[in-house]
Amino acid sequence: MEEAPTLSITMLGAGQEVGRSCCVLQYRGRTVVCDAGIHPAYSGMASLPFIDYLDWSTVDALLITHFHLDHAAALTYITEKTNFRDGNGKVYMTHPTKAVHKFMMQDYVRMSSSSSHPLFSPLDMTMSMASIITVSVHELVTVCPGISFTPYHAGHVLGACMFLVDIYGLKILYTGDYSREDDRHLVKAELPPVQPDVLIVESTFGVHKLECRQDKEDRFTSLVHSTIRRNGHVLLPTFALGGAQELLLILDDYWKRHPDLHHVPIYYVSSLAKKSMAVYQTYIHSMNSTIRSRFAKRDNPFVFKHVSNAPQTRGWEQEIAYGPPCVVLASPGFMQAGPSRQILELWAPDSNNGVIITGYSIEGTLARDIMTEPEDFVSLKGVTISRKMSVDEVSFAAHVDYSQNADFIEQVKAKHVVLVHGARSEMGRLHSALTSRFKDRGDGVKIHAPKNLETLKLSFPRRKIAKVVGTLGTNPPQTSGVISGLLVSNGHSYTLVNSGDLRDFTGLPTSTVTQRQKMVLDVGWSLVKWHLEGMYGTVQEGYDEDGVPTIRVMDTVDVKHSGAHELTLEWASSSSNDMIADSTLALITSIAESPASVKLTTHPHSHSHNETDAGAHTHPTFGVISSDTRIQGLAMFLQAHFSNVELHVPDVSDEEPEQRGEDPYLLVQLDATQAQVNLITLTVHSSDEELQKRVEAVLDMAATTVNLLSESFVSRSSKMSSLETA
C-alpha cells in the first residue's frame, strides 16, 4: 500500500545563524526536538530559541547532542518553565554530556544570577538534571511506539554525538556539531551504517577550507613562542571544556620539547578547571586509541606537567598582567564576560601581548569583533580601552570544513540535506556549492537551508509491508490471489491476521457482541418459515440448546419461536450481520399484511404434484407453494413490484377445471388491464402487450435473483452443527 506522509522540519534556532540550536521534527503525529541552546551574543529571554512557537507538551523526545551552551543551556528553561512536563516527553544525552552539562549549567546559573532577570534558578537547574536519561553511543533507544534513535560519535567535544532518529520507519540523521578530523584526544565523527532519508548537518565554516592539523599546530605554537620571546603575555580565550583540553595537550607537549620555556607558566583560568579535569579522566574510554593506550600504561595524559591553575589570591589578574611572560587559557571563549574578558581589558594596551582566537566566534560577540583588530573597544564598565596587543586566529574549532562536510554528505547518501548552524552568508555559499556539486553528479540530492521558524515540509512516498501470520499464513499466496484479514498496525509494522488469531498474534483483546430483538408473533410459525425461504432461499431449521424451535437465516441470524406469541432474533453483531438482521426483521413484520399470507391462510386445499402422483396432498396452511421454495420466492418478488396482485392457488373443490387450472398463478392488475403469471412455467399472458413485456422483465429479474439465492445458501445447511434437524 502506497502512502506519502510529510516530515516537517522547523528551526527554532540555528536557522541561518549560529547559536541557540533547536530543531523540531514532526512526522505522523510524533515530535522530536534536537538540541536546546542559547545564543551567546544575547542575554535573558532574547537568548532563548523561539520556544513559544511549539506546544512543548506534544514533544515525545528532546535529544541533546553535546554540552556547549549554544546547544544545551535552554534545556532547563524548557523543562521547568514551559508545559513540557504536561506531556510524556523525555530528555536524552550521553553519560559524559550529562556529567559536563551539570558543571556548565552551575557556572551559567552563577554567572547569570547577577542579571536583573535570570532565566531560571539553581533549583530549576537541579530539577531539570533529574529528568535527564543517559544513553550510550551505539545504543538503540526506543522512546515510545514509533520513535527510536541511536547515538553515534560526533567528535567535536567529549561525549558529543549525532542522532540517527527513526520515526515510523523514516530515518533522520542530525549531526549537531561534528568533526571529521583526528585530534589529540577525541575520536572523529563516524559514519552511521544506515542510510537516512534526511541529513540535518551543520554548516559552520561554509565553503572554507581549514589548515591541515600539523600546519595548524605548528603555526599556533610558533605564535605563542614568538609572543613570549618579545616578553609578552599570551591570552587564549577558550571554553572551559572541549577546546581547552585540546590546547592544553598541545602546549604541554610543546613545553616538554622546549626546555627554554619551562620557566614560563601556563595557567588554566576557569571555575570549572578542576571539575572538568576530573570528568575527562573519568571518561577516558570515550576518547581515541592514543589516549586510552597512554592511560593503560598509567601515563595519564590529563595530568599536565607544565600547566597549573590560576592563583587563588585576590587581584591575581593584576599579578599576572604585570608579571613575567606567561600563557593563560581563560573562559569563556566568546569573551563576553568572565576571566577572559577581564584579562583582555588588562593586556590590550600593551603591544608585547597577544591574543589568539582558537575557536569559532559567533557574530555579536567580542571574540568576533576583536578579530577585525579595532583600535579600541569598550570595557564592561563602559570605559574605552586602546587595543595595541596583537590579534591572531588559529582555529581549533572542532567543526568540519567544506571538503570534510561535502565528503560526509556524499557518503551518507541522504536524498534531502538540510543545512543548519551557519551564518546566513556562509550557509548561502555552501548551499550554492553543494547544489552545483550534486546537480552535476545527477544523484537527485536536494539541499535545503531553512530560516528560523520557516517550516520545511518533505514528502516521502513509502510502501507498507504487512506480514501474514496465523491461519492466513499456512498456505503461501498465489499470484494475483486475494488474502482477506484484519490489518493490524503497531508502530510502523503491519500484520495481516484472521480475526480468530487476533488475540494470539497481536495481544489485542477480542469480544463478540450478541444482539437480540424480541417481537410479537401474529402469524403461524410455519408461515414465518415460508416467507424466510421465499426471500433467502434454503434456511436451516432446528432447535437451540434450550430446545427452542429455531430457523437460521444465511448462517447468521437465528429466528427463535421463544413464546406462544413471540419471536426472538439473535445474531453476532457486525456491519454485515446487522444488515441481514434488519432485512429479516423487516420481512417478518410485513408477513401479516402480505397478500400471499392472506391467501395461504384462508384457502386450505389439495393438489396433485405431478401426473404420476395419483394421491391427493392436503395443505391446510400453505397449499402447493410451500412444497416448492423457488415458487415461493418468485411470488414474493413479484408482489414486491406490483401493488395490486392476487395469488391464485388451485383447489380441488373448483368445479370448472379451466378455472382451476393445473398450476398456481399470480394475477397482476394495472388500471383496466391485467396479466396472468404462471408460477410453474414462468410464462405471462395479457391482452395488453406493454403490460406483458413489463411483467416479463420483472419476472426475469425475479427468476435470476431467486436462483442465485438458492444456489448460494443451500450449502449453508451443513454448517448448522449447533442445531438439530427437525
Q: What CATH number is attached to the domain comprising 147?
A: 3.60.15.10
Q: Are strands 557-563 and 549-553 parallel, antiparallel or unpaired?
A: antiparallel
Residue 321 and residue 470 in one domain: no
Residue 280 and residue 302 in one domain: yes
Residue 72 and residue 203 in one domain: yes
Summarised one tens digit per residue, pLDDT across range 596-621 is: 565 555 444 333 334 333 333 333 33
Residue type, 634: L
Summarised one tens digit per residue, pLDDT across range 413-444 is: 999 999 999 999 999 999 999 999 988 776 78
Residue 694 and residue 640 in one domain: yes
> Reduced to 3 states, what is the DSSP secondary structure of residue 226?
helix
| pLDDT for the residue 678 | 83
CATH, residue 317: 3.40.50.10890
Residue 384 and residue 406 in one domain: no
Residue 227 and residue 372 in one domain: yes
Say if 362 falls within a structural domain.
Answer: yes
- The H or E element containing residue 634 is helix 629-641
| pLDDT for the residue 49 | 97
C-alpha to C-alpha distance for 707 and 293, rounded to whole angstroms:
89
C-alpha to C-alpha distance for 506 and 504, rounded to whole angstroms:
6
C-alpha to C-alpha distance for 232 and 571, rounded to whole angstroms:
97
| pLDDT for the residue 293 | 87
Residue 119 and residue 170 in one domain: yes
**Nearest partner of 80 among 122, 38, 114, 133, judged by Cα:** 122
Cell readout for 150 is 541511536
Q: Does the bond joining 332 to the residue before it have cis omega, within 30 degrees of 0?
A: yes
C-alpha to C-alpha distance for 264 and 308, rounded to whole angstroms:
11
Say if 623 falls within a structural domain.
Answer: no
| pLDDT for the residue 402 | 95
Summarised one tens digit per residue, pLDDT across range 336-379 is: 888 889 899 999 999 999 999 988 788 888 888 998 888 999 98
Strands (DSSP E) found in 502-603: 514-520, 540-543, 549-553, 557-563, 566-572
Say if 725 falls within a structural domain.
Answer: no
Does residue 20 surpass a pLDDT of 80?
yes
Residue 14 and residue 84 in one domain: yes
| pLDDT for the residue 5 | 87
Residue 31 and residue 111 in one domain: yes
Interacting residues of 317 by C-beta distance below 8 A, sequence separation 6+: 339, 342, 343, 346
Stronger pLDDT, 253 or 316, i.e. the higher one: 253
**Residue 158 near residue 186, CB atoms below 8 Å:** yes
C-alpha to C-alpha distance for 78 and 114, rounded to whole angstroms:
21
Say if 134 falls within a structural domain.
Answer: yes
- The H or E element containing residue 37 is none
Percent with pLDDT over 90 in the chain:
45
Q: What confidence tier does 71 reach under pLDDT thresholds 50, 70, 90?
A: very high
Stronger pLDDT, 627 or 644, i.e. the higher one: 644
C-alpha to C-alpha distance for 411 and 433, rounded to whole angstroms:
17
Residue 322 and residue 449 in one domain: no
Cell readout for 319 is 599579578
Residue 333 and residue 306 in one domain: yes
Stronger pLDDT, 626 or 146, i.e. the higher one: 146
Query: Looking at 339, 359, 393, which one is the last position of a domain?
Result: 393
> Reduced to 3 states, what is the DSSP secondary structure of residue 439?
helix
Of 53-62, 401-410, 441-450, 650-659, minimum mean pLDDT range: 650-659
What is the rounded radius of gyration, in angstroms, for the C-alpha atoms of the chain? 44
Does residue 48 surpass a pLDDT of 50?
yes
- The H or E element containing residue 431 is helix 424-441
Does residue 326 surpass a pLDDT of 80?
yes
Q: How many domains does the chain have?
A: 5
Burial of 665: CB neighbours in 10 Å, binned 0-12, 13-18, 19+: buried
**Nearest partner of 268 among 259, 260, 276, judged by Cα:** 276
The count of residues in the chain is 726
Does residue 76 surpass a pLDDT of 60?
yes
How confident is the prediction for the chain on average, in pLDDT? 84
> Reduced to 3 states, what is the DSSP secondary structure of residue 561?
strand
Residue 294 and residue 307 in one domain: yes
When pLDDT is averaged across residues 192-197 and rounded to a whole number, the result is 94
327, 331, 336, 339: CA torsion to nearest 10: -70
> Reduced to 3 states, what is the DSSP secondary structure of residue 448?
strand
> Reduced to 3 states, what is the DSSP secondary structure of residue 106?
helix
Q: What confidence tier does 51 reach under pLDDT thresholds 50, 70, 90?
A: very high
Instruction: Give the domain extent around 531.
Output: 514-590
Residue type, 389: M
Does residue 717 surpass a pLDDT of 60?
no
Mapping DSSP onto H, E and C, the string for 62-105 reads: EECCCCCHHHHCCHHHHHHHCCHHHCCCEEEEEHHHHHHHHHHH
Which residues are the active-site residues?
A: 399
Say if 357 falls within a structural domain.
Answer: yes
**Nearest partner of 451 among 418, 414, 417, judged by Cα:** 418
Say if 606 falls within a structural domain.
Answer: no
When pLDDT is averaged across residues 92-112 and rounded to a whole number, the result is 91
Say if 530 falls within a structural domain.
Answer: yes
**Residue 208 near residue 198, CB atoms below 8 Å:** no
**Residue 417 near residue 449, CB atoms below 8 Å:** no
| pLDDT for the residue 400 | 93
When pLDDT is averaged across residues 259-272 and rounded to a whole number, the result is 87
CATH, residue 525: 3.30.310
Say if 641 falls within a structural domain.
Answer: yes
